[in-house]
Amino acid sequence: MPLSPTEPGVDRVLLTRILSPDFDCDVFLNDFLQEKEAEWRRASHKDLQDWVGFGVPEGEQEENGVKYEFQMWVRGLVGF
């Protein structure tokens, strides 16, 4: 079941990117960065924390052998 952040009105993606290991998943997010008409930019860590309103661990994290990173992507917003 694919999920799509390219729906009208979607201007922000909060993403937990799994860096390793690879998992066999049945739900995935389409590669929204490859969409020609969408101009996505990765927001800074400070902008992520400001938007969610609380502290978010920065950079690569690891828990139970899973490496991941919290990210926020925005499109069509000035100042990012």
Q: pLDDT tens digits, residue range 34-68?
A: 776 668 889 999 999 999 999 999 999 999 999 99
Residue 1 has pLDDT above 60, yes or no: no
CB 72 within 8 A of CB 42: yes
E-strand ranges in 1-80 read 2-3, 12-20, 28-29, 40-42, 61-63, 66-75
- Answer for the pair 74, 43: CB distance below 8 angstroms, yes or no: yes
Q: Where are the domains of the chain?
A: 2-75
- Mean per-residue pLDDT, 12-17: 90
Q: State the greatest distance between any 2 C-alpha atoms of the chain, in Å, as a whole number.
A: 38
Q: How many CB atoms lie within 10 A of CB 67?
A: 13
**Homologous superfamily assigned to 2-75:** Dihydrofolate Reductase, subunit A (3.40.430.10)
Percent of the chain at pLDDT > 90 equals 46
Q: What is the pTM of this model?
A: 0.74
